[in-house]
A and B are shown apart, each in its own frame.
Chain A
């Protein structure tokens, strides 16, 4: 009987396990990439680079089409209608705050205009918009299907708006992060030129600031630095600017590697000083290793997220020389005890820096324990 399928399918007692993690899944494995690959990445990038920098970094998933739908909704059911739309297929629902004040839609003219509010909604490209809207309306008891208009989404628009947000950032006295398309406000300072594309790391985020300040205090000259989760490459590049002998950057996102290569070139960093490696995501079947020597680095910083940082603790630490300094960030202060618990068997002299809700933990790798 079909009812039994539901019971088997959905164990009532353990609903929370479906939602909360009881076990952390590993988020990356590693592959071997010959150094040739970093050369080829930069080579292809220099030919495709143009003055409209946004085009370098859009790939299929970012330039994905979407439907932009504007719906006229009666004011009194705004909340329930928004929720219903999300249940029945909308990806997002946005309501402008001050539309109510304006005289919207001359076409609809009448007094109805003041009782209606405009919802901007985004739908996946293959969704049946009309059906979703009518199901949503039905589910909250609306008598009529609201008026709506569908347009193809303009991805260039939001990509450009996003780029425009990036302004020069002063991290510390005489340390600036400057967008590629702006000239440095303080030419004599240490200026890191960046075009982050869609990789993380513009210097604006508290975690990036924390890591940059940590790095600045650690690099005296001649160190080997590893940026685990390099994103835009900002930390790897900064280390070299502070005087490190060499930097290596690892990321699971190919767009990050692309971005980091591009930024290395922007800062005139030769390839032998900055090597970049793509770590394959979990879905990759190969079990090859990243071609970096164990116990090679004097300073390692991993600015990622709680789960990867815990899952990869052993792996990250394996690249550190005994006595090396490790920095971990991308962690919220409430997550700190968890990270400390995982790292303290291997790391001593732990200190913590905080900006807002974010923390950066640093310590030195203990010299004497069995390394696997």
Chain B
């Protein structure tokens, strides 16, 4: 009986969807529409919920959303602060990463930038207990893969 109960409380998952949605600006148009529509999720319910939960962010900040779609068309989602690469691009003032990371450096950032980004990322639900140093290392890794070098001080 205990096993049966456990099966009942664990809803079967249909899919995991990741996307970027502007804070407070979810609308049932692409990409939200097709991405969620494919799995028959209630678009308006998602938009209302997402918009309400992101009211505290600056409007249109791209938020990283992970949606778990269940087979019964219900869903859950978590919202994270913007992706590390978004922060890096914003800090460096570039639109895209380098076309040949490792070979071509687009620009540089200072460790102070990395530290500030790490502090914001630490407020994410999943990063809360990660030491700042690990988060910084991960940010430096992402930056390098985008062709952005980290230096100690910008001269």
Contact = CB atoms under 8 A, between A and B. Distances in A.
Interface of A: 1-7, 9-10, 12-13, 15-16, 18-21, 25, 61-62, 64, 66, 68, 82-83, 86-89, 91-97, 120, 122, 124, 131, 135, 138-140, 153, 155, 157-159, 161-162, 164-165, 196, 198, 200, 202, 204-205, 207, 305-307, 330-332, 335
Contact of B19 (A2, A6, A93, A158): A93
Contacts of B33: 62, 155, 158-159, 162
A332 B56 contact: no
> What are the 9 closest A-B residue pairs judged by CB atoms, nearest first?
A158-B37, A91-B31, A92-B19, A139-B145, A3-B154, A87-B85, A92-B35, A306-B55, A94-B17
Contact of A15 (B12, B61, B120): B120
A369 B33 CA distance: 46
Given A83-B83, A305-B24, A88 B15 contact: no
Contacts of B90: 10, 18
Contacts, number: 189
B131 interface: no
A241 B117 CA distance: 54
Contact of B83 (A1, A62, A86, A97): A86
Given A62-B33, A66-B34, A20 B58 contact: yes
B30 A155 contact: yes
B44 interface: yes
A89 B86 CA distance: 11
B55 A305 contact: yes
A97 B109 CA distance: 39
A94 B30 contact: no
Contacts of A140: 145
Contacts of B59: 21, 25, 307
A12 B113 contact: yes
Contact of B15 (A96, A164, A305): A96
A135 B147 CA distance: 11
Contacts of B132: none
B79 interface: no
B69 to A, nearest CB: 8
Nearest to B54: A305
A5 B109 CA distance: 11
Contacts of A162: 28, 33, 37, 43
B52 A332 contact: yes
Nearest to B98: A135
Contacts of A164: 40
Contacts of B107: 2, 6
Nearest to A58: B29
B120 A16 contact: yes
Given A92-B17, A93-B18, A97-B14, A198 B28 contact: yes
Interface string B111-138: 0110011011000000000000000000
Given A83-B83, A207-B48, A64 B58 contact: no
A331 B32 CA distance: 22
Given A7-B154, A93-B17, A97-B16, A86 B64 contact: yes
Nearest to A4: B154
B73 interface: yes
B55 A83 contact: no
Given A5-B93, A93-B17, A205-B45, A332 B112 contact: no
6 contacts: A3-B108, A6-B113, A153-B30, A198-B27, A198-B44, A335-B52
B15 A94 contact: yes
Nearest to B47: A200
A316 B15 CA distance: 42
Contact of B52 (A87, A155, A165, A305): A305
Given A6-B91, A16-B120, A335 B44 contact: no
Contacts of A96: 14-15
B115 to A, nearest CB: 8
B116 A12 contact: yes
